[in-house]
Amino acid sequence: MKVLGKLTKTEWLLLALAAAFLLTLALLYREAAGTAAGADYTITTQRRSVLPDVPALPEPRGPVDLNTAGLEELQTLDGIGPALAERIIEYREAHGPFQSVEGLLEVKGIGEATLEKFREDVTAGDGQATEEETAA
């Protein structure tokens, strides 16, 4: 029968290891807290208006005509990047001019949510092919 209050050598060893572990944790915490408290610096950020490596996109001059707009002009629309602008042009070349703004929903990657971002900024012109498109 075991007597309460007396510890075996194994129990003393485990108790000593636990105490050493807790002491080490306390010392590490104290060191980390001291480092954070001594950090007397401020980080500020500043946004550049134009990145040096990226050419600025032209500002739209009114509604963008889906049937005549080039790659750069299409990219001025909210939510349209280079890949999507390229798909719009490819779709226009393959299927003819857009009859309406809703025709963009046929282009892969443009859904209702994307179209709503720029619906007011685009027009489908008169839906007729230009002389250049007819000749091509």
The tokens describing 106, both together, are 């046929």
Overall residue count recorded for the chain in this entry:
136
Per-residue pLDDT tens listing for the chain (136 residues)? 456 778 899 999 999 999 999 999 999 988 877 766 556 666 677 766 655 666 655 554 678 899 999 989 998 888 889 999 999 999 999 999 999 999 999 999 888 988 898 888 899 876 544 434 444 4
DSSP string, 47-110: --SS-SSSPPPPPP-SSEETTT--HHHHTTSTT--HHHHHHHHHHHHHH-S-SSGGGGGGSTT-
Instruction: Report the predicted TM-score, pTM, of the whole model to 2 decimal places.
Output: 0.50
Position 81, amino acid: G
The tokens describing 108, both together, are 């892969």
